Structure 1
Amino acid sequence: MNYILYAVPFFFLLIALELLVDRWRGVSTYRLADAINSLSAGVLSTTSGLLTRVVGLVAYTLAWQQLALFELSADSLWVWLVAFVFYDFCYYWNHRLGHERNVLWAAHSVHHQSEDYNLSTALRQTSTGFIFGWIFYLPMALAGVPPLVFLTVGALNLLYQFWVHTRHVPKLGWLEWVFITPSNHRVHHAQNPVYMDRNYGGVFILWDRLFGTFQEELDEEPVIFGVTTPLASWNPLWANAQFYVALWRDAVRAESWWDRLRIWFMPTGWRPADVAAQYPQAKADLSQFVKFEVPLSGAQKVYAVLQFTVYLLGGTYLLAVGEGLSLPALLLGLGWMAFGLYVIGAWLENRPQARRLEMLRLALNLPLAWLTLQLGLLAAQPLFWPLLLAYSLLSLLALWWTPRRMPVPA
C-alpha cells in the first residue's frame, strides 16, 4: 500500500488549517514562493522516486534473502514494534551522517534550504538521497526484518515527521524527553551556531539524548531557519544540484588528486586548503539575516499558483499509477514534471527568460500529450484534446495579460 499517496489529501488539509491558524494568530509563517518551492521539491522527489527507490528496495531484499541471520515473521506484532524502533535507530545514523559528510549533505541539504518553517517544509525532500541512503538500513535486513515490514515502518516514520514542521505547537512537557516534537525539530532546522547539527531522530529523541546530539530550544535564542550557504533560488532542480556543484567546483580546483577524491567524504564544510585560500567563502552574519525574496505582482503570483496546481495534480497522478507504467512512460512523466517545475521556479524568480520558457512549456503540451497517449501514460478520453487545448490557450492569454513586476534594485 502506498501510504504517502493516501496521506496527500491530509497533508494539504493540515496545511490549510495551519494557514487559518496563521490568520487567527496574526502571524505569517508562509511565503508563497517559498512554499511552492518546497512543494515542488517534494513533487520532484516523489515522482523521481518511482524510478530510484528500486535501488534501495532491491539491495534490501537481496540482503534479506541471502544474509539474514534470523527468520522473522510479518505475522508477529512484536516484529513490527521492534522494526519500528529499529528503523528509527537506523534513520538517526542516516540523518546524522547526512549532516556530517559532504556528499551526504549534498543530498539532504534540500530539506533544510527553506528559510521558513511550516508544514510545506516537511514535504521538501531530496531527489538524490537514494544514492547512499539505503546503506544505513541494511542492518534491518541482516536481522531478518521482512521487506514488507521495512517499507511499512519506513512510511510510518516519514508520516510522523510531517506534523513536527510547525511553529504553532509549543513545548510538550514530558513528550520532549521521548519523542521528536515541533520544538526540538525546530532546533534541527536552525542555522544558529548553538542549534546546528542537533536532534536527528525521526520519531524518538532518545537517540540524540543517548549519543550527545540533543539540544533544547532556548527562549533567549530565537531560531533562524535555513542553511549557512543560502540557496537563493526557487528552482527545485538547482536545489538538488547546488551542493554537488559546489563540491565538484572545489574538486576541480584542487591541485591534489587526493583532495579531489576525499572532498566528497570529508566532514561537511571541509575544503582543500589551497582552494579555500584562493576561493574563500564568507558565512552570512545572522544578525543581518534577510530571507531570499523576489518581488512579484499579484497576477504573477496567481498565475504561478494555478500552473503549479496542474503539476501538483500531475505528480499525484503519477504517484497513483506509476507502478504500472513502462520505463519510457515514467521517464516522460518525470521529464514533463522536472521541466514544468523548473519553469515555474524561473517565473517565481522573475527571470527575463521566464515568459519565453513558459511559452515553450505551453507549446510542448500538445506533442507531449500525444506521446503520453502512445506510451500509455494517459488513457484517451473524449474531452481530452478539447480540455488540453483550452488549458493551453487560456494559459497563453493569461500569460499575455499578466503584468510583470520589475525587480527592486538591490
Structure 2
Amino acid sequence: MDFILYAVPFFFVLIAVELLADRWRGVSNYRLADAINSISTGVLSTTTGLLTKGVGLLTYAFALDHLALFKLSGDSVWVFAFVLYDFCYYWLHRMGHERNILWAAHSVHHQSEDYNLSTALRQTSTGFLLSWIFYLPMAVLGVPLLVFISVAALNLLYQFWVHTKHIPKLGWFEWFFVTPSNHRAHHAQNALYMDRNYGGVFIIWDRLFGSFQEEDDNEPVIFGVTTPLASWNPLWANVQFYAQLWDDAKRAQSKWDKLRIWFMRTGWRPADVAAKYPMNKPDLSQFRKFEVPLDGRQQIYVALQFCVYIALGSYLMNLERSLPTGALVLGWGAVALGLFTLGVALENRPWTLKLELVRLASNLPLMWLAPLIGLWPASAVGWVGLLSYSLLSGIGLYCCRNRFTRLAS
C-alpha cells in the first residue's frame, strides 16, 4: 500500500486546520509565497521520485539478495524494522547536516523562514543520489523489501505533524519521541540549536549520541539557514548549495581541495577561497525574512496556477504504474517548467510576463505530444480542457500585466 499517496489529501486538510488555528489565535505562521515555495519543492521532489526511486529500491534489493545475513519474517520484523529504519535515518540525517555533499541535498528542507505544516512537505529532489547507502544495513540484516518500503513511508508520515508552532512541549513524550518542540529547535539557525535533534520518530538517538537540544523559552527560534535562499524558486532551491560548492571547487588552487570540499564538514571551504571570497553570516539580531511585494491580484493568479500543478503532480502519482517512462518524463518536465515559472512570478522578475507566455504557449505542443506518448488518452474533452485553461490563464495574465510590469521596473 502506498501510504504517502493516500495521505496527501489529509496533508492539505491539516494545513487548512492549521490556517484556521492561526486565525483563531490571531497569529500568522503562513505567507503565501513561502507556502507555495515549500509545497512546490514537495511536488517537484515527488514527481522526480517517480523517475529516480528505482536507485534506492534496486540497490536495496540487490543487497538483500546477495549480502543478507538472515531472512527475517513474521510480525516481529515490522517492529524491528521500524526502529532500525529510524536509527539509519538518524545517521543519514546527522550526516546530512555534517557533510557538504549531503547538506547540499538536505538543505532544501531547512530553507523556509516560516515553520508550519507546509514546511514538512518541503523536500529535496536530489536526496536519492546518496541516501540509499544509509539503509543498506537493513538489507544486510534481512529486512524484506516490502517491509522496508512500508516503514520508510510510516516514518515520513510521522514527521509531518511535528512541523507546527501550535503544539507546546508534551511532557514525558519529549523524552522518547520527536515532537513539535524539539523539531522546532532542529529547524533553527540560532547557534544554540544548530545541528541538533536528528531523529525522525525517536528522539532517544539524539539523547544517546549527544545531539539533543531542548527548545529554550529564553531563546526564541529563528527558522531558516545561515546562507539564506532568498528565492521562491523550487529549482534554484535544489541547486543553490551545489552551485556554491561548485564555485568554491573551481576557485580553489589545490586539486586536493577541489575534490575534498564535497566531503568535508558542512561549512568548510579551501583557505585560499575563503580569504578571497569571504561569506559573512547574517546577524540574527537584525534578521528579516525574505519577502517580495505582490498585490492581491498577482497572488491570486499565482495561487490558482499553482493548484493546476498540484493536480498534475497528483495525477502522475496516482497513475505512475500505468504510465510509460516517456510519459512520466514529459509530466515531470511540465511540472518543473510550471513551478519554475511560478517561482519567477513570485519573485516578480522583469521577465515574468515573457516566461509566463512561454509556459502557456507550451500547452500547444503538450496537447499534441501527451496523448502520443501515453501521458493521457487522446480525446476532444482533453483538448478543449487544455485550450480553455490556456485561454483563461491568458486572460488572467492580461489582467495582471501592468502590476507585474510596474513592480518589476
TM-score (norm: length of structure 2) = 0.98
* 1:1-400 correspondence to structure 2 within 5 Å: 1-73=1-73, 76-400=74-398
Q: Are the aligned partners of 1:102 and 1:268 in contact in 2 as well (CA < 8 Å)?
A: yes
Counterpart CA distance in 2 for 1:370 and 1:186 is: 47
Asked if 1 retains the 8 angstrom alpha-carbon contact of 2:120 and 2:160, the reply is: yes
CA contact (8 A) 1:362 1:392 kept: yes
CA distance in 2, matches of 1:173, 1:77: 31
Q: CA deviation at 1:408?
A: 9.2
Per-residue CA distance 1:158-205 (angstroms, 9 max, x = gap): 000000000000000000000000000000000000001000000000
- The CA deviation at 1:380 is 2.5
Does the aligned pair in 2 maintain the 1:295–1:408 contact within 8 Å? no
Distance 1:367 1:128 in 2: 28
SS at match of 2:211: coil
Moved beyond 4 Å, runs of 4+: 405-409
Q: Aligned-pair distance for 1:389?
A: 1.1
Partner amino acid, structure 1, of 2:369: L
Residue by residue over 1:8-39, the C-alpha shift from the partner in whole angstroms, topping out at 9 and shown as x without a partner, is 10000000000000000000000000000000
Residue 147 of structure 2 aligns with an amino acid whose one-letter code is V
- Is residue 350–residue 408 contact of structure 2 (8 Å, CA) maintained in 1? no
What is the CA-CA distance between 1:324 and the residue it aligns to?
2.3
Identity %: 69
**1:55-103 deviation line (CA, Å, top 9, x unaligned):** 0100000000111000111xx1110000000000000000000000000
Partners of 1:316 and 1:398 in 2: how far apart? 24
What is the one-letter code of the residue matched to 2:46?
Answer: T
Kindly state the Cα deviation for residue 323 of structure 1 after the two structures are TM-superposed: 2.3
Contact 1:50 1:323 in 2 (8 A): no
Say whether the 8 Å CA contact 2:348–2:408 is kept in structure 1: no
Counterpart of 1:42, as a letter, is G
For structure 1, which runs of at least 5 residues remain unmatched after alignment? none
CA distance in 2, matches of 1:328, 1:253: 39
Q: In the TM superposition, what is the alpha-carbon distance from 1:407 to its structure 2 partner? A: 4.4
d(CA) in 1 for partners of 2:327, 2:14: 32
How many residues in Structure 1 have an aligned counterpart in Structure 2? 407
Distance 1:271 1:157 in 2: 34
- SS of the residue corresponding to residue 142 of structure 2 reads coil
For 2:163, the aligned partner's letter is H
**Partner amino acid for 1:290?**
R
Deviations 1:242-290 (A, max 9, x none): 0000000000000000000000000000000000000000000000000
